[in-house]
Chains A and B, each alone.
Chain A
Amino acid sequence: SAVISQKPSRDICQRGTSLTIQCQVDSQVTMMFWYRQQPGQSLTLIATANQGSEATYESGFVIDKFPISRPNLTFSTLTVSNMSPEDSSIYLCSVDQGEGQPQHFGDGTRLSIL
């Protein structure tokens, strides 16, 4: 299975600032996703990161708040913009290698906003 490196692993940020999370995969993958997991809750899909084009956002998530880049098939970034305490969460990068293969997850970024 693909090895996924996500960084930073955790951060504490000030209200109103922005943070960019990076996700690097050791092989080319078709689909990359970004999830949010708030304390005690399940995974919520933020968007699908599309290589060479704009990300596809799920209902309730917008590009201005969560801009995503995917310049190639092995790398993606998620930016959490203008952060507020409500954005405190774990953010997870995930990759899908296609038919018959499960999604695999990075170790996550634990984000706290003061």
Chain B
Amino acid sequence: GQNIDQPTEMTATEGAIVQINCTYQTSGFNGLFWYQQHAGEAPTFLSYNVLDGLEEKGRFSSFLSRSKGYSYLLLKELQMKDSASYLCAVRDSTNAGKSTFGDGTTLTVKP
């Protein structure tokens, strides 16, 4: 089975940097994904890690350490529109390839 933990809520200031952590336990790790979900909308894909290290996409970066079962999403130069829920999801090769989603971290960006 899988267990995914991420903080429930975080607050940060516009223009700052914030790091959202995710820890997981899985039987057959086959990729970790981060999604952004604004209130009342569907999740949108942000980043994907399958190998250890950092993946950078503009203001967003995601890091993975498979040995530690750990990932983080780094958001730079925060903007008000970044206020949203951020979901960590892990794909398990032993679970018919299905992904399990964490409960999400609600990020509030303040002026």
Residues on A lying within 8 angstroms of B by beta carbon are 1, 31, 33, 41-43, 45, 48, 56, 92, 96, 98-100, 102-108, 110
Contacts of B99 in A (CB 8 A): 96, 103
Name the contact of A45 in the complex, choosing from B31, B40, B98, B102 (C-beta under 8 A): B98
The answer to the question of B97 belonging to the interface, with a C-beta cut-off of 8 Å to chain A, is: yes
Asked if A42 contacts B41 (CB within 8 A), the reply is no
Contacts of B42 in A (CB 8 A): 92, 105-108
Residue in A1, A45, A98, A103 whose Cβ sees the most chain B Cβ within 10 Å: A103
Name the contact of B103 in the complex, choosing from A42, A106, A110 (C-beta under 8 A): A42
Cross-chain pairs A/B with CB under 8 angstroms, 21 sampled: A1-B45, A31-B97, A41-B103, A42-B102, A43-B43, A43-B87, A43-B101, A56-B96, A92-B42, A96-B97, A100-B31, A100-B50, A102-B33, A102-B45, A103-B45, A103-B99, A105-B43, A105-B44, A106-B42, A107-B41, A110-B40
Asked if B31 contacts A33 (CB within 8 A), the reply is no
Kindly provide the distance from the CB of A110 to the nearest chain B CB, expressed in whole angstroms: 8
